[in-house]
Amino acid sequence: MQNGKLATTVLITGLIAGTLDILAAIFLLAGGEATRVFRFIASGAFGKAAFEGGGEMVAWGAFFHYLIAFSWTVIYFLICRRNSFFRRSKWLSAIVYGTVVWTVMNLLVVPSSQIGFRGVNLWNWIENWLILIVCIALPIIISAQRFYRTGSNEGNS
């Protein structure tokens, strides 16, 4: 039963974090152009063809976006299960985890994809970092802290 509760919590958390993140990207970074954001994400796998393709590229972008959001959710829940430090301060944990997510995505994943390294734009980096802290890390951390706070869940230490 606990595995079912964990899976449900991770699923809902991943959906919430992924949705908050994509909405921030669409409205704060792309001027409300959702298809542009999803095509950019898809271009990591499909290159320039993502910008020339139809709705399937938008769908691929959404798929990849939520896959990444779920991956970060699962990783944090695994870390939090083993290390009670990450269950103490939600804001400190959000800053640390958001920084880890930003670093891995912007300095490893995106440059390794067909997008490649996009250069240094300090303001853009700060915007993206803050979005990841508030929209990805914070919801994941709040959910994980709630999940592991209850006495019936595994991982309490």
DSSP 48: T
CA distance 115 to 68: 16
Query: What region does 31 belong to: left with phi over 0, alpha with psi -120 to 50, or beta?
Result: left
**Which residues, at least 6 apart from 99, have a Cβ–Cβ distance to it below 8 Å?**
129, 133
Task: List the chain pLDDT tens, one digit each, 157 residues.
Answer: 477 899 999 999 999 999 999 999 999 999 999 999 999 999 999 999 999 989 999 999 999 999 999 999 999 999 988 887 777 789 999 999 999 999 999 999 999 999 988 888 899 999 999 999 999 999 999 999 999 986 445 544 4
CA distance 65 to 24: 13
Picking from 46, 63, 62, the residue whose alpha carbon sits closest to that of residue 115 is 46
